[in-house]
Amino acid sequence: MNSPLDMEVLKTAQLASQESRASATPMMEQFIEIKAANPDSMLFYRMGDFYELFFEDAVDASRALGITLTKRGQHMGIDIPMCGVPVHAADDYLQKLIGLGFRVAVCEQVEDPAEAKKRGSKSVVKRDVVRLVTPGTITEDKLLSPSESNYLMALARVRGAGNNMALAWIDISTGVFRIAETDDQRLLADILAIEPRELILADNLFHDDELRPVMEVLGRIAVPQPAVLFDSAMAEGRITRYFDVATLEGFGNFSRVELAAAAAAIAYVEKTQIAERPPLGVPERLASSSTMFIDPATRANLELVKTLSGDRNGALLKAIDRTVTGGGARMLSERLMSPLTDPAAIAARQEAIAFLLAEPVLTDRLRDRLKRVPDMPRALSRLALDRGGPRDLGAIGAGLGAAREVSGLLSGHIGLPDELANALGDIEALPRAIEAHLGTMLADELPLLKRDGNFLREGAHAELDELRALRDQSRRVIAGLQLQYADETGIRSLKIKHNNVLGYFIEVTANNAGPLTEGEAKARFIHRQSMANAMRFTTTELADLESRIANAAGQALSIELEAFAAMTSDVVGSAEAIKKGARALAVIDVAAGLAALAEEQGYCRPIVDDSRMFNIVGGRHPVVEQALRRQSAGPFIANNCDLSPTQGQESGAIWLLTGPNMGGKSTFLRQNALIAILAQMGSFVPAGSAHIGVVDRLFSRVGASDDLARGRSTFMVEMVETAAILNQAGDRSLVILDEIGRGTSTFDGLSIAWAAVEHLHEVNRCRSLFATHFHELTQLSDKLARLANATMRVKEWQGDVVFLHEVGPGAADRSYGVQVARLAGLPAPVVQRAREVLDLLESSGSKKPTKQLVDDLPLFNIAVKREDVAKAASAPSRVEDSLKVLDLDDMTPRQALEALYALKQELGKV
């Protein structure tokens, strides 16, 4: 955005030199001054019905939005680039710009143009920025995903507090406000667990070399801000002023660094929302030990909310989401990203699911009612920020009505689990009077914008009904008055007419004017104009009616806007109760959705306790199982996994898993990690039974990737991630490792994998699944007491390998790589040559070719020559030979079918 042209313009504005002022029009002077105050934002400058953009903003916007770039005069001898977007369609353009990472300053006219004219014909209407639109501070429905939270996060560090760091995150669209401490090791994992749309931090912290790797991962969501926003000395005062309290003691005990992060988040909200204040909830402090630690690589590998390609289809969240409300979908995502470590809290969530699972009729009715619940927190936020419309009030009313129905369904059941009982209490505390008032006042069909009017119900306001009648039925009112005057005067030809000069007037022929000009009538009917054949009159009543008709629309809208403001005030005044009630509905939605999932997919309730157990019986991969069912590809093969401590041991076991590629090792590894996450988020799990001791840290190293931008090869990335696991895993951790050491030479890789297994066993003492193709590692089971061998079973038949996808005890004797290569479609000569080389290597007892082995495999004596390959490729197959001899014209259908079966058998032998 900061091109030489733009920087020169801003520099000119800041210096405010006489020369530049003289060269700019008053309007451009105003623009330059406002732009100088918002240099890092694209300025939407309101001019009539358009937001106009100038200079580099216009160039960037035209390119990003695909709109025409024009020009408007010159400034300092340079053509001024210009483009614009209609005000009524601004949200659509904002959505694109925010998605591309731009920040937008919305500059509105804050003065009536008529007032500006009073200061002189060349006076410019006063304008000012009323809002900064950034990715973390949007509230518009079009810009938000209903199922995803939209968090603004602040990162603070206070060196005087032991170099501690803290995170504070706010969703101004729902009012959620949370704080947690973090450290260097957890920082990136904690940020990615929340998935903020925007992260602010002090500019000196942004450029700190120690945090550079984190900033590189976060990319454009990290936005540096002046350090004064993060001043811990001013933090408490900023927070108390925002919440209008004298002290923070009622909110809880917060550390110095937590207050700095919370105050910075509030300061940024105030900076972007200018004069408006979103209804934020009281800051909620989260202890880092209360949730499972999942490092960034593990989140990516396990594809919790999106796949490695960035698609949400195919991720775990998509597979388990049966919620029917936006709030429920957001809560489910939060629970999935931050599984609990407290068995009692996990059990409370399970109890709610179990209760609803046992009450299918109640669950169906609840889900049916919940489908009609609008997104009340987001509607409430827009109303509080003066960005709401009639539909937001309607959403609050409809949500309160649906909540009342949900309350009626639950209140009739005794023995509700604590989670549902607490939710019911919050729902019953919702303001019923507001629901009734909104129902009385609001029409059935509501416009999007309050300025459109017609959102109050007929009968809600007597004066409004009269004004609407004047506005919408003026002809009928005038006709009634005309009939009245005709009866009073006895002049049947009397007409009430209208033109742009006189407005409404009474017209009679000259011959019939007597009754209007004589006696008492003369005082009532005021002469306006005489024509050749007619005379025109008015009355005080007609003039008053004309004025009322002319002003009816404006007065009607004024009454509606006044009523809108009153209703909004009532709603915002009950913000806390409405937010609590909305969250309670989300809790019920999540529990009902997970109950529906458990019923639909056959999930079981896991036992989660403080032990070191990890015993999964008949476990299944939740995503793959559903994919197979959709494709009608047969049932998923369930497998057991028992990493529980063996007799006499306190720590969990390590399984060393061997078997062929394509045999299902990676699926087996991932499914057990996903089952642990599902269990600790409080869900039922895809298994016959499950007993899991709380996992405090989950690590997964599955799959290969590189990081070329940072100069890291695939092997280097693998070693960095493995190092993080071995340095951080404890005895309560669950570690999933796949093919450690495969990115280097055979002996190097084997050595690294060997040492890693020993370290996991002796130092980390964690529960672990370790998949490998180094079959030599299986010998460690004789040396390491808690290590057991397991293998993916296969079956060979007629030279082919059949993958059974079953896990059993023991070790694989080979990897079947050549067979997999044939299935992948490698040319037959390559597969054949690979078999020959493999046979010789295995018979020699060495996996590392030596000169003698190379001599035994002469390139030109054994290797298939190019002409042999070409010949083999061009030679007809036995199937083709069989087809050539068939006389199709003389064959009966039965003979053709028999020939087809014969060809199929022939193909099976190839």
pLDDT at 23: 53
Instruction: Reduce the DSSP state of residue 524 to 3 states and report it.
Output: helix
Band of residue 1 on the pLDDT scale cut at 50, 70, 90:
very low
The reply to whether 463-556 shares the fold of 321-431+593-600 is yes
- pLDDT, average across residues 413-431: 94
Angle between helices 390-411 and 432-441 (to 10 degrees): 130
Q: What is the Cα–Cα distance from 414 to 424, expressed in whole angstroms?
A: 12
Q: What is the Cα–Cα distance from 156 to 240, expressed in whole angstroms?
A: 19
Check pLDDT > 80 for residue 864. no
- pLDDT, average across residues 624-631: 92
pLDDT at 16: 38
Of 837 and 174, the structure prediction assigns the larger pLDDT to 174
Are residues 564 and 373 in contact, defined by beta-carbon separation less than 8 angstroms? no
Q: What is the Cα–Cα distance from 9 to 56, expressed in whole angstroms?
A: 10
Q: HSE on the CB side for 255, CA within 13 Å?
A: 23
Are residues 706 and 720 in contact, defined by beta-carbon separation less than 8 angstroms? no
CATH topology of domain 4-133: MutS, DNA mismatch repair protein, domain I (3.40.1170)
Q: What is the pLDDT of residues 143-182, one digit of tens each?
A: 888 999 999 999 999 876 555 899 999 999 999 999 999 9
CA torsion sign for 456, 457, 460, 461 is: positive
Instruction: Using the CB atoms, write b or e for 355-374: b if 16+ within 10 Å.
Output: bbbeeeebbebbbebbeebb
Instruction: Reduce the DSSP state of residue 613 to 3 states and report it.
Output: coil
Are residues 586 and 328 in contact, defined by beta-carbon separation less than 8 angstroms? yes
HEC profile of 258-313: HHHHHHHHHHHHHHHHCCCCCCCCCCEECCHHHECEECHHHHHHHCCCCCCCCCCC
- What is the side-by-side order of every strand in the sheet holding 734-738? 293-294, 697-701, 734-738, 767-771, 654-658, 787-797, 800-809
Are residues 1 and 52 in contact, defined by beta-carbon separation less than 8 angstroms? no
> What is the total residue count of the chain?
910
CATH number assigned to the domain covering 145-290:
3.30.420.110
Check pLDDT > 60 for residue 264. yes
Are residues 378 and 432 in contact, defined by beta-carbon separation less than 8 angstroms? no
How many angstroms from the chain centroid is the CA of residue 92?
Answer: 18
Are residues 137 and 152 in contact, defined by beta-carbon separation less than 8 angstroms? yes
Q: What is the Cα–Cα distance from 541 to 551, expressed in whole angstroms?
A: 15
pLDDT averaged over every residue in the chain: 86
Q: Which residues pair with 738 in a beta bridge?
A: 771
HEC profile of 190-232: HHHHHCCCEEEEEHHHHCCHHHHHHHHHHHHHEEEECHHHHCH
Angle between helices 474-489 and 540-573 (to 10 degrees): 150
Closest CA to 103 of 39, 178, 150: 39
What lies within 8 Å, CB to CB, of 777 at 6+ separation is 656, 750, 753, 754, 757, 770
Of 875 and 256, the structure prediction assigns the larger pLDDT to 256
Are residues 13 and 5 in contact, defined by beta-carbon separation less than 8 angstroms? no
Q: Which residues pair with 655 in a beta bridge?
A: 769, 788
Instruction: Reduce the DSSP state of residue 690 to 3 states and report it.
Output: strand
User: What's the token pair of residue 885?
Assistant: 């001899």
- pLDDT, average across residues 826-850: 70
Check pLDDT > 70 for residue 13. no
At CB < 8 A and 24+ separation, what contacts does 183-191 make?
184/210, 185/728, 186/288, 186/293, 187/155, 187/211, 187/214, 188/213, 188/214, 188/217, 188/218, 188/295, 188/296, 189/293, 189/294, 189/295, 189/296, 189/299, 190/288, 191/153, 191/155, 191/167, 191/218
Q: HSE on the CB side for 795, CA within 13 Å?
A: 5
- pLDDT, average across residues 609-635: 93
Closest CA to 690 of 607, 613, 601, 623: 607
> CA-CA distances (angstroms) from residue 527 to 380, 505, 535, 548, 689?
57, 10, 8, 21, 97
pTM, entire model: 0.81
Annotated binding site: 659-666
Are residues 6 and 55 in contact, defined by beta-carbon separation less than 8 angstroms? yes
Angle between helices 360-370 and 343-357 (to 10 degrees): 100
> CA-CA distances (angstroms) from residue 260 to 193, 287, 415, 718?
21, 17, 44, 36
Check pLDDT > 70 for residue 753. yes
Check pLDDT > 80 for residue 869. no
Q: What is the pLDDT of residues 358-412, one digit of tens each?
A: 999 999 999 999 999 999 999 999 999 998 999 999 999 999 999 999 999 999 8
- pLDDT, average across residues 593-603: 97
**Percent of the chain whose predicted confidence (pLDDT) is above 90:** 54
pLDDT at 24: 63
**Percent of the chain whose predicted confidence (pLDDT) is above 70:** 89
Q: What is the Cα–Cα distance from 563 to 20, expressed in whole angstroms?
A: 48
Band of residue 7 on the pLDDT scale cut at 50, 70, 90:
very low
Of 469 and 44, the structure prediction assigns the larger pLDDT to 44
Are residues 665 and 779 in contact, defined by beta-carbon separation less than 8 angstroms? no
Domain boundaries, the chain: 4-133, 145-290, 321-431+593-600, 463-556, 602-809, 876-910
Q: What is the Cα–Cα distance from 600 to 594, expressed in whole angstroms?
A: 10
User: What's the token pair of residue 877?
Assistant: 């197959």
What lies within 8 Å, CB to CB, of 833 at 6+ separation is 862, 863, 864
CATH number assigned to the domain covering 321-431+593-600:
1.10.1420.10
pLDDT at 770: 94
Q: What is the pLDDT of residues 770-802, one digit of tens each?
A: 998 888 889 998 899 999 999 988 887 666 677
* Four-point Cα dihedral 244, 247, 249, 253, nearest 10: 90
pLDDT at 446: 94
Annotated binding site for ATP: 659-666
Angle between helices 665-680 and 622-630 (to 10 degrees): 110
Q: Specify the range with the lowest mean pLDDT, choosing from 158-172, 254-268, 751-765, 846-860.
A: 846-860
Check pLDDT > 50 for residue 562. yes
Superfamily of domain 602-809: P-loop containing nucleotide triphosphate hydrolases (3.40.50.300)
- pLDDT, average across residues 251-272: 92
Are residues 375 and 327 in contact, defined by beta-carbon separation less than 8 angstroms? yes
Check pLDDT > 80 for residue 889. no
pLDDT at 22: 45
Q: What is the pLDDT of residues 696-725, one digit of tens each?
A: 999 998 765 544 445 556 778 788 888 889
HEC profile of 121-157: CCCCCCEEEEEEECCCCCCCHHHCCCCCCCCEEEEEE
The helix (run of H) or strand (run of E) holding residue 373 is none
Q: Is 807 left (phi over 0), alpha (psi -120 to 50) or beta?
A: beta
Hey, what amino acid is at 298? T
Q: What is the Cα–Cα distance from 327 to 395, expressed in whole angstroms?
A: 13
Band of residue 289 on the pLDDT scale cut at 50, 70, 90:
confident
> CA-CA distances (angstroms) from residue 157 to 594, 722, 780?
39, 28, 45
- What is the side-by-side order of every strand in the sheet holding 42-47? 70-75, 78-86, 50-54, 42-47, 104-109, 127-133
Check pLDDT > 80 for residue 321. yes
Using a 10 angstrom Cβ sphere, with 0-12 exposed, 13-18 middle and 19 or more buried, the burial of residue 348 is: middle
CATH topology of domain 463-556: MutS, DNA mismatch repair protein; Chain A, domain 3 (1.10.1420)
Check pLDDT > 70 for residue 529. yes
Q: What is the Cα–Cα distance from 613 to 632, expressed in whole angstroms?
A: 35
Closest CA to 197 of 143, 140, 136: 136
pLDDT at 20: 42
Q: What is the Cα–Cα distance from 300 to 770, expressed in whole angstroms?
A: 19
* Four-point Cα dihedral 298, 301, 304, 309, nearest 10: 140
Q: What is the Cα–Cα distance from 99 to 150, expressed in whole angstroms?
A: 13
Instruction: Using the CB atoms, write b or e for 244-278: b if 16+ within 10 Å.
Output: eeeebeebeebbbbbbbbbbbbbbbbbebbeebbb
Q: What is the Cα–Cα distance from 871 to 448, expressed in whole angstroms?
A: 73
Q: HSE on the CB side for 705, CA within 13 Å?
A: 14
Are residues 17 and 63 in contact, defined by beta-carbon separation less than 8 angstroms? no
The helix (run of H) or strand (run of E) holding residue 832 is helix 828-844
CB neighbours (10 Å) of residue 310?
7
pLDDT at 564: 96
